[in-house]
């Protein structure tokens, strides 16, 4: 299984609409990536980075795929649509990481 983590840095002045992201945006993700092997999603809200440190990311969206190239194929076809929705929930530029889940 493969996971794409879309991480939104906890920068000064960061704005983030968790409800929109969790519902509307993730519904778009499921719609467009479902045909490319998306099996599930989840959303993490950053609380803190341990002790008194702020969370390094205000939010992380995780997308799980059954194939290594599922995200790449989906983003090639629908990336501009999904990126176009970002200003509806944040003023941040996300950082992405694709990982293989080892069990």
Identify the domain containing residue 75 by its residue range: 2-100
pLDDT at residue 24 is higher than 90? yes
* Per-residue pLDDT reduced to its tens digit, 80-90: 999 999 999 99
Query: Domain tally for the chain?
Result: 1
Strand order in the sheet with 2-9: 38-45, 57-65, 2-9, 95-100
Using alpha carbons only, give the angle 18, 58, 26 rounded to the nearest 5 degrees.
40
pLDDT at residue 32 is higher than 90? yes
Return the higher-pLDDT residue of 103 and 41.
Answer: 41
Stretch 57-76: mean pLDDT = 96
Contacts of 11 (CB under 8 A, 6+ apart): 92
**CATH at residue 41:** 3.30.70.100
């Amino acid at each position: 299984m493969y996971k794409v983590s879309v991480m939104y840095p906890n920068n000064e002045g960061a704005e983030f609409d968790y409800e929109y992201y969790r519902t509307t945006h993730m519904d778009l993700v499921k719609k467009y990536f479902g045909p490319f092997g998306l099996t599930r999603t989840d959303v993490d809200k950053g609380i803190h980075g341990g002790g008194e440190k702020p969370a390094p990311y205000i939010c992380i969206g995780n997308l799980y795929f059954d194939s290594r190239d599922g995200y790449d194929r989906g983003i090639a076809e629908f990336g501009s649509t999904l990126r176009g929705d970002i200003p509806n929930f944040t003023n941040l530029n996300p950082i992405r990481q694709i990982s293989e889940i080892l069990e």
